[in-house]
Amino acid sequence: MGQVQLQLKFKVAALLFFSTLAFKSSAPYTSPDPYYLLNCGSSAPSTEDNRDFLPNTQFALSTGKHISVGEATSPTLYAAARVFTDASFYEFDINCTKTHTVRLHFLPLTDKYDLSTAVFNVSANYQFNLLNNFSATDPTTPVKKEYLIHVAAKKKRICFTPIRGLAFVSAIEVFSIPDDIIWSSEWELNFSASNQTLETLYRINVGGSPVTPSKDTMWRTWIPDDNFLASGDTSNRTTTTNPINYDPEVLTEEIAPDSVYDTCRSMASPNSNITWEFEASGHATHLLRLHFCDITSSTLDELSFNVYINDEIAFEDLKPGSLVHRFASPFLKDYTADSGPLSSRGKWLIRVSIGPPTHISWSMNGILNGLEIFKLRRGFQGFPEFETEIHVLSGIRHRHLVSLIGYCQEHSEMILVYEFMSKDTLRDHLHNSDLSWKQRLEICIGSARGLHYLHSSLARPILHRDVKSSNILLDDGFTGKVSDFGLSQVVGPSMSETYVSTGVKGSFGYFDPEYVRTRQLTTKSNVYSFGVVLLEALCARPVIVMDLLSEEINLADWAMSWHKQGLLGRTIDPSLVGEIKPNSLRMFGQIAEKCLEEYGADRPTMGDVVWNLEYAFQLQETEMAREPYEDSITTCATELPLPVIGRWPSISSVVTSHRDDDSAVARDTESESTASQVFSQFMTSEGR
């Protein structure tokens, strides 16, 4: 997206769980062809870990200004570097659309230019953002960065753009890898592979020794786990010399080398936990790949254990013997998570643990053989999305929409600058369960006002297309504001037009099913997505949890199934237990249910949603004398429900100017009614 809250856009479907990946059998993998290993600053070839890097002269380089510094004829890989004084790129002719590994090597030489002061950006094909404002400051230690990307273009470009001073690179590796190493069917379901980049943060050989590129078919480096153990002496190391039994229906040998699977750590005692901690990026989504191979047991049923990520159960009662049917047969589990707690040094952490199973009382053991941690990065926001966001936000101003302050487009950089939202996203706070019910209602009301303004108060309605909790930002006073308009569509110009025909874009778990079926985006598509947000606010759980029972995977389906039984209270965030007044909860559940109707025609407008959320807020704030039909509570069968709404109120208003307050939406009409009027209006079967 190229904006200050860049990471907010990228946190799509955070905290998703993935089932075991299924990799079909294929021919044995050989070295990629073609592959490029480039010694960027040198005119001579070099060798690193038994791999030959070719000189810079054999690769296509753009006509931008660049020079070689260091020992240009040295056969040592880091003795020279290529320096760029302007935007430049290397071009590699790889005519295939597979997933590619891109590795970048940096050593800041200081002889001719002090490269330790250079600050620059790196991208792939000006589409995949690899490094932003990057600098390498230690002239004694090379920095290596690795990315997995999916580039459809026949020619692959690695682009360097100086930000302050110069840009430079010591060496580059580009080669294709089998798609099923990362982009499995489950992964494709939740993330668009062609629009994502994975940055490798850690590759850990648990209980083992370092694995160098020459010992790995994908030329990867694996490091020991000793420096990341946080649980003390609670594990045993195991090593085997027996062959590893790969099941081609589970995974292939390219997933990880034998030297990862022939070592492991197991729990030192049945009641102990083993915990590892890794520093990671804050406000980012990470993919964790956990590798398992039972080399410790004498029977297939000896292992059963829980896996925890950031102190939450990721995989419960994991039994390797039920997933593979031979000893020493590897399998893996994928899991996506945000950064967890802060370390004592103030760094964000990802915490991984294995421990005793939940539902088995007798002594069992647990293992871990390897761990990979990737940071999910979205590709560059395309120019159309960049232009759309500027166009949309420059023409509107509302208290509950994030304000655009300015933008910059220079070289490949597209930057949007917004007002500072100090309290991050609604999703962040729901994950931490640190909002009261009153705060959650106020945030939902404000966000609904912002969407109502977009739908009804402009000459041509604006359809957001990515309404979700991570796109609702909070300021110092916890005012909710809708953000991220890069995917927005404008309806028009004819007043008779009510939808936009467009490809399905948005975030998994929030999609309007009617929009998916018809490819017609309407204001009611936003209403459906907002209904999912309402349930997030109530339940504080991810919208999709793949590791649960089928009827519990989807938040909307799960919560509505309880609501229809009159038991919505069983779904609420435990931190809210005893805080929500029964009538407020019942009203809130009715609103969410209407928003989530299968067909758009049956859903309320956002104006209706605003009004009824205000009513739920009043029910929370006010103790009312109970009428027979007025009271309800999901746990009291003897009390009657709130009245059935014969017609949800319909709000129409005309706004002639864009003002920076709620009057831009005709004040959502809520200020034009007293509390008693609001109640009396709702108590009639005809609404207002």
Structure-token match 């390219």, residue found: 254
Judge contact between 71 and 101, C-beta under 8 A.
Answer: no
Interval 219-239 mean pLDDT: 93
Specify the pLDDT at position 681. 35
pLDDT tens column, 383-433:
566 777 777 777 788 899 988 888 887 655 677 888 899 898 999 899 888
Clarify whether 225 is annotated catalytic. Answer: no
* Residue scoring higher pLDDT (31 or 200): 200
Cβ-based neighbours of 528, under 8 Å, separated by 6 or more: 510, 511, 512, 513, 514, 515, 595, 596, 597, 600, 603
Cβ-based neighbours of 648, under 8 Å, separated by 6 or more: 594, 604, 608, 612, 687
Model confidence band, residue 157 (pLDDT cutoffs 50, 70, 90): confident
Provide the percentage of residues in the chain whose pLDDT is more than 70. Answer: 76
**Per-residue pLDDT at 471 exceeds 60:** yes
pLDDT tens column, 622-667:
855 444 333 333 333 333 344 433 334 433 332 333 334 443 333 3
Distance CA 174, CA 155 (A): 12
Judge contact between 75 and 41, C-beta under 8 A.
Answer: no
Model confidence band, residue 8 (pLDDT cutoffs 50, 70, 90): very low
- Which among 180, 466, 484, 608 is annotated as catalytic? 466
- Lowest-pLDDT range of 205-214, 320-329, 360-369: 360-369
β-pairing verdict for 331-338 and 235-239: unpaired
pLDDT tens column, 542-563:
888 866 787 888 899 999 999 9
Model confidence band, residue 586 (pLDDT cutoffs 50, 70, 90): very high
Interval 247-258 mean pLDDT: 87
**Per-residue pLDDT at 524 exceeds 90:** yes
Specify the pLDDT at position 32. 59
- List domains and CATH numbers for the chain: 30-177 (2.60.120.430), 185-189+195-378 (2.60.120.430), 451-682 (1.10.510.10)
pTM for this prediction: 0.58
